[in-house]
Amino acid sequence: MFGVRLMILLALMGGAIAYIGDKLGSKIGKKRLTIFGLRPHDTSVLLTILSGVLISLFSVGILAISSQSARTALFGMEKLQKDMKQINLEKKSAEAEYYRAKELLEKRNASIKELDGKIKEAEENEQKAEASREAAEHDLAAAKEQYNQMQGALASAKNEVASLTEARDKLSGEIKELQEQTDHLKTGLVVMKQGDVLYRAGEVVFAGVLQGGRGEEESQAQARWLMEGTNTAAAERLGIEDPSKAEVTWVQKEEYEKLIEVLNNEKANILVRVRARANTVAGEPVLCALEMIRNDVVYTDGQLILRKIINVEDKNRPLNQAFSEFLQEVNQTTVKAGVLPDPVSGKVGNMSAVTMVETVKKMKKSGGQVILSAYADGDITTAGPVHLRMEVEKVATGR
């Protein structure tokens, strides 16, 4: 709007000045006025020129008054051009600086990108190093555990070596003792050709039932009683009048210590049989071995052991033979049940001749088929012996 108003103002001003100049020119021409000695026509032209000049001056003045930009264009153009030139130079310098900064920024961005890659690679390497460290710590812990196990195994191996060394020394001693026993046996074989055998190999020299779990002192006392009883029995067999003055039996120290250990640990009664290791003749010590077995009750008093039907009138088998076979079956049955037989005879007990005769008489008196029953006469333990109570019952007709 300001420009439009300015143009209208300039047009009105220019028209007014032209009109005034024309009027002045006309008046001067009509009155034939002169200025500076000029002719009237030239004076009219001069006035016209002056009106044009005034129009231009007033136009410029109005423009200068009304607009800072116009004043700057009219009076400060050279300065503005210099400023524009300086600004262009600064612009070019700024552009050059901008491009340099942009290039530097690109280089720095590239460096930053490279650094980011290196940082990422470093982080990955750090993660790998952390994983490697954890794996190394795990391997170290496993190695320590394996080391501890190896230390334990080494200690165990050392103990085992010590045990084996001790066992070797012990075996060496036993080998030496066995060699001595062999020499004694060789001597005994020579003696056997010239003397009587007092004990056969495996024969029971003495036996006793000892009570376990009664303490170290009682176990020692019972073991000494067993050894003294063994020595007394062997001395009597050898015909020595005072057994206390002669030691005729010999038991390995390890077996004696084993007996003490069993008595201390077991709560039950223990049957101990002292058996000859080899044939023994007069003049030789009796080499013995210890046999230890729990002395459990195999048959209670009155318990039936064996029952069998026998035909008394069987002519193909005499009655005495049938009764002997029955007793053999009783012996086998009790052995299977757990009663220890005599290692030499294989028997578990003896029946008096009177009982045998009376039983056979009862069988004959009944005649025909009879039921022969053998009952335990009192409790029978592993140690034996087996005492029997015999009953004879006639088989009823039609049975």
Q: Using DSSP bridges, classify how beta strands 204-211 and 249-251 pair: parallel, antiparallel or unpaired.
A: unpaired
pLDDT at 181 over 70: no
Q: Is 286 helix (H, G, I), strand (E, B) or coil?
A: strand
* pTM to 2 decimal places: 0.46
Which H or E run contains 197?
strand 197-199
pLDDT at 228 over 70: yes
pLDDT for position 65: 72
pLDDT at 188 over 60: no
For 121-154, how does the pLDDT look when each residue is reduced to its tens digit (9 = 90+)? 888 888 888 888 888 888 888 888 888 888 888 8
pLDDT for position 238: 78
Taking the domains of the chain in order of start, what are their residue ranges? 2-75, 197-295, 298-394
Q: Using DSSP bridges, classify how beta strands 286-294 and 249-251 pair: parallel, antiparallel or unpaired.
A: parallel
Sign of the C-alpha dihedral, residues 29, 35, 39, 41? negative
Over the chain, what is the mean pLDDT? 79
Q: Is 359 helix (H, G, I), strand (E, B) or coil?
A: helix
For 71-110, how does the pLDDT look when each residue is reduced to its tens digit (9 = 90+)? 666 566 677 778 778 888 888 888 888 888 888 888 888 8
